[in-house]
Amino acid sequence: MSSDQRFFDFLKERIGLDVASVGEAIIERAVRQRSQSLNAQTADQYWQQLLASTDEQQALIEAVIVPETWFFRYPESFATLGRLAVARLAEIKHMRALRILSLPCSTGEEPYSIAMALLDVGLAPHQFKVQGMDVSPLSVERARRGVYGKNSFRGQDIEFRDRHFTEQTDGYRIADRVREQVRLQVGNLLDPTLLANEPSYDFVFCRNLLIYFDQPTQKQVFEVLKGLTHVDGVLFIGPAEGSLLGRLGMRSMGVPQSFAFSRHAEPAPEPVFVPMPAPIPQRSAAPIPTKPRPFSTISAQPVVPIKPPPAQSDAADLLSQIATLANEGKSLEARAACERYLQTHPPAAQVFYWLGLLSDVAGSALEAQGYYRKALYLEPQHPQALMHLAALLESQGDVAGARRLQARAARSERKQ
């Protein structure tokens, strides 16, 4: 039942989802769960129930969409937003409020983070408004409720929680002064009438969405996003989507870890140069492709006295530290932790995956490709490396190569 092409086509038409981007198993599981909940015995039975009920159509979409977000994810993006917002208000001589769009807004962590960031840099409530939008009514309702558990607060810097939240028995409730800055609504980015009568936005956040679409849908969605963004505005995207936007004519703002792209074609600000820590060879953080090192260099280190292998727990702790640093946007520290791991432990696919993602984020597409391939050499079915390398290849025009990797990821998911 679950592999029926009709269900894949339905999700493609309704939300633009490319089945290869998430793997058939994810959709199969969602269809199976919804079929069981309706006591449908056959594919045809559930298909007819799906067609007859808009509520069931939305329920299937909800079952496929699994929001993964938290407050101030990619912290440098919000720091960059604060600086750009202050400059933007000066440019327009404070004649109007700034308009910011978060789409998809999921359960509200992103639009509320935007509001908190702007309040924290000194903007008054009348100087900006945030619009949050998501295809999922359930997610929007949770965002409107404004109560969050501990999973929404990650990383070491959560001081904002004391300033903007009140603890209660069922979680942390966001302050009214933040909530009042955000307007939330249900909306589909593939709807041609989406925000048709609204003025353009100074800043648009659209994270980790394009990677779930096939190439034609990516271009369609990009045109919508470009139309929603003011000619002098800025589009914030996800770490794996920079190569795609560059190919479609957007220009990076040059601020590491901000994932910020300018809407217009004028020269971008000079990239911020951040030197690497001393143990790592110096390289610019600007998005300049570099030649990846061959895999053999990992074993070609200078001969050192043999030491007893580190404990397994040490490796696990260091991997956890790498993940935390990378998710907090601390790319230099994360890269240094990866190098420390490779100096003291055998090569690990997850470490090369993180190095690939960090290079991808910095704009070094060729280097990222090399690291992703090293991860796959060690673990041929590494799911994140497969998907990120596929997105990178597709952004470079290698659609066939991307599809092969997506198919591998889908097969791996089915076996689990």
DSSP state of 135: S
pTM for this prediction: 0.63
* Main-chain phi, psi angles of 165, to 5 degrees: -135, 155
Q: Where are the domains of the chain?
A: 5-64, 75-262, 295-300+310-415
Asked if 237 contacts 228 with a C-beta cutoff of 8 angstroms, the reply is: no
With a CB cutoff of 8 Å and minimum separation 6, the contacts of 224 are: 189, 194
**196 three-class SS:** coil
- Amino acid in the structure at residue 368: A
Q: CATH second-level architecture of 75-262?
A: 3-Layer(aba) Sandwich (3.40)
* Main-chain phi, psi angles of 147, to 5 degrees: -120, 130
> Per-residue confidence of the chain (416 residues) as pLDDT tens digits?
445 788 988 888 888 887 776 678 878 888 988 899 899 888 889 999 999 988 888 888 878 876 678 999 889 999 999 999 999 999 999 999 999 999 999 999 999 999 999 999 999 999 999 999 998 888 999 999 999 999 999 877 899 999 999 999 999 999 999 999 999 999 888 887 888 888 999 999 998 888 778 778 888 888 888 889 999 999 998 877 777 777 777 888 888 778 889 865 444 444 444 444 444 344 444 443 444 433 333 333 443 444 444 455 688 888 888 887 877 677 788 888 888 888 888 888 888 888 888 887 776 777 788 888 888 878 888 888 887 887 777 666 676 777 777 777 666 655 55
With a CB cutoff of 8 Å and minimum separation 6, the contacts of 103 are: 131, 132, 133, 134, 187, 189, 204, 205, 206
For domain 295-300+310-415, give the fold.
1.25.40
Nearest to 7 by CA among 53, 64, 66, 55: 64
